[in-house]
Every structure is written in C-alpha cells, then in structure tokens.
Chain A
Amino acid sequence: MVKGEIKKLLLDEVQKDIPAVERPFAALGRKLGISEKEVLAVLKGLKRSGVIRRIGGSFDTRKLGFSSTLAGMKVSPARLTAVAKIISKLPGVTHCYERKHEINLWFTLADSGGVKSVNAAIEKFKELPGVEGCWSFPVKRMFKIKTFFAA
C-alpha cells in the first residue's frame, strides 16, 4: 500500500512530466522510492476517482497549426443552459464556463482554418436564439501557463 504522502508527491510529479522513455512509470517510481507497479496502481486509482482527467500529451495548439481564442457571450438567463450545450458540442470548444457577469458565458475556441474561421464561427454564434452579443479576446502575449495543482 502506497502512503498518502507518496501519493501526493506522485500526483505532483506526474503533472509536471512523464518522461518519454521505455519505462516511464518505473522512472517515476525510482524518484519516489516505489515500484513501477505501485505507480501504475496509484495512477489508475486517481483516474478512477476522477482526480486525474487524462494522462497524455499536452500540445501547443498554435504550433500544431490551429488558431484559437477566448470568447465571451452575453446570453439571456433563460437561454443560458441551452446555448451552453450547443456551444459545448463543438469539437473546437474545450472549456466552457458560466461566469457571474453581464457577459455570462465564456469559452475557448480553436480551429484549423485560421483566424478567419474562428471569427466566422463567432459571427454565427450571434445568430443563436438568446445570444445578445459575442466577442473574441485573442491572445496578444502569454505570460504564464501553469498546469500544475499541488496535491
């Protein structure tokens, strides 16, 4: 049985980097003084319980040739859930949140067709019933992407 403290360290470690080597989980285990088998058992448990959403590659969307933006939408409260569901169905939308503001729905949008496609999609969204406005807030400069939540 792996102790809670080691589990926490492992969760910290796997959020940073899983090395692309022949036995990555054995390498992680060596760092923490546990076996490859134990590493795999802990990770499977964390996935089952839903703490870990995914174990895989984290790509730079732009460098793969996609354009992306953050969009904010003003939706009439009665239509918010319905509109959010329509937006969330799109494969280019990866994050979609309600926020407590006049602009009450915020989502990310990526498209392989360039900035034009992204903007065309935003224009289309404005036609959805209940949508009173939709704006794009594309990145000008990145200061930080931290993808690490201390356990």
Chain B
Amino acid sequence: MINIDKKIVRELQGNIPLGPAPFRTIAVKLGLTEKKLLEKIAGFKRSGKLRSIRAIVRHRKAGYTANAMVVWSVPGAKVPSFGKTAAASQAVSHCYERFSPPGWPYNLYTMMHGRSRAGILKEIEGLKKRTGIRECRILESGREFKKTSMVYF
C-alpha cells in the first residue's frame, strides 16, 4: 500500500470525528482535498479493502447476552448447502468453513447471538433440522478478554 493510503486507513480504522463534516476534518489533517479523500474512500470500497464505514456495537450491551460459537462436522459435499442455510439464519453473525487440525472433526463454524440462551439452543435445533447435520458442539462464550478492531498501520 502506498503511504497516503496507509494514512487514510489509519484515520478510518479508529473513530471518525462525530461532527457535521467528518471527511473534511480528516482531509484537512492529511493535507488532501475533501473531494480527493472521498474518491480514495470510494476506491477502497470498490476494491473490497473497505467493507463499509459504520457503527460497531457491543452486542452484549445491545441486549445480545447469549453468545456461542457452534462448530459443525459437515461432509464435503454438503458444505455449500449447509453454509447457505446457516447464513440465512438471523441468529448467525459469522459463518465460515475452516481448515481443521488432525483429530478435530469440525469444519463449519457459526457464531450465534441471541437475547437468551434458550433462543440460541432453539435456533441450533432448527439448523439441525433444516440442514440434516446433527453433529455439532456448542462452545458457549465465557469471559470476554478482548474485543477490539484491528489497528493496521
């Protein structure tokens, strides 16, 4: 990445100023015109480097107090359909297929969030029924030691 791009990432990876014209404030700081900065940001979005500029909530504080990582053992041929079905669930925030170390049979990972433990368990049962995959382990979240955003540069 070129230097100015890194500088822009540095301004956006934390908090943008909560004022009427946050991008003008950032542009002035970086010695760019606001127009140039907005073009750069649009370019980051097009290339997929920047997913979006948005608010990130503390889900535990927003009422989602029941959280679990559920790991599933899904045969290769069923992975795409399982992924699609799991992704459609409102309770699932993240769904990944992952490489597994030897001795670990689980290859699909769903992060599940709900306002109650019972709600999550019910949704897991629903996923089992809809996907036909029964083999899973529920790894409920205990203490949160760190949850932050990456500081890239």
Give A contacts to B, CB under 8 Å. Answer: 11, 14-26, 36, 40, 43-44, 46-47, 49-61, 63-66, 70, 84-85, 87-88, 91-101, 103-104, 106-107, 110, 112, 135-147, 149, 151
> Is B99's CB under 8 angstroms from A56's CB?
no
> Is A50's CB under 8 angstroms from B58's CB?
yes
- Which chain A positions have C-beta within 8 A of B139? 99-101, 103, 106
CB-nearest residue of chain B relative to A91? B151
Residue B136, interface by CB 8 Å: no
Residue B9, interface by CB 8 Å: yes
Report whether over half of chain A's contact residues are helix, strand or loop; otherwise say mixed.
Answer: mixed
- Which chain A positions have C-beta within 8 A of B107? 140
- Which chain B positions have C-beta within 8 A of A23? 20-21
> Is A138's CB under 8 angstroms from B98's CB?
yes
Docked pose: A149 CA to B114 CA in angstroms = 10
Interface string of B32-72 (1 = CB under 8 A from A): 00100010011011011111111111110110100001000
Please count the residue pairs between chain A and chain B whose beta carbons lie under 8 angstroms apart in the complex: 236
Please, how many residues of chain B have a CB less than 8 angstroms from a CB on the other chain? Answer: 71
Minimum C-beta distance from B143 to chain A (A): 4
Other 14 A-B pairs with CB < 8 A, given A56-B12, A59-B13, A65-B1: A17-B52, A51-B62, A54-B14, A57-B9, A58-B53, A59-B150, A63-B49, A96-B146, A97-B142, A97-B143, A137-B109, A144-B87, A149-B57, A151-B62
- Which chain A positions have C-beta within 8 A of B96? 70, 139-143
> Is A54's CB under 8 angstroms from B149's CB?
yes
Docked pose: A67 CA to B68 CA in angstroms = 24
Docked pose: A143 CA to B142 CA in angstroms = 25
With contacts A40-B20, A139-B96 taken as known, whether A59 is within 8 angstroms of B50 at the C-beta atoms is yes
Minimum C-beta distance from B34 to chain A (A): 7
> Is B93's CB under 8 angstroms from A56's CB?
no
> Is A70's CB under 8 angstroms from B98's CB?
yes
Q: Which of B16, B38, B62 has the most A CB atoms < 10 Å from its CB? A: B62
- Which chain A positions have C-beta within 8 A of B15? 54-56
Partner of A138, one of B1, B22, B47, B99: B99
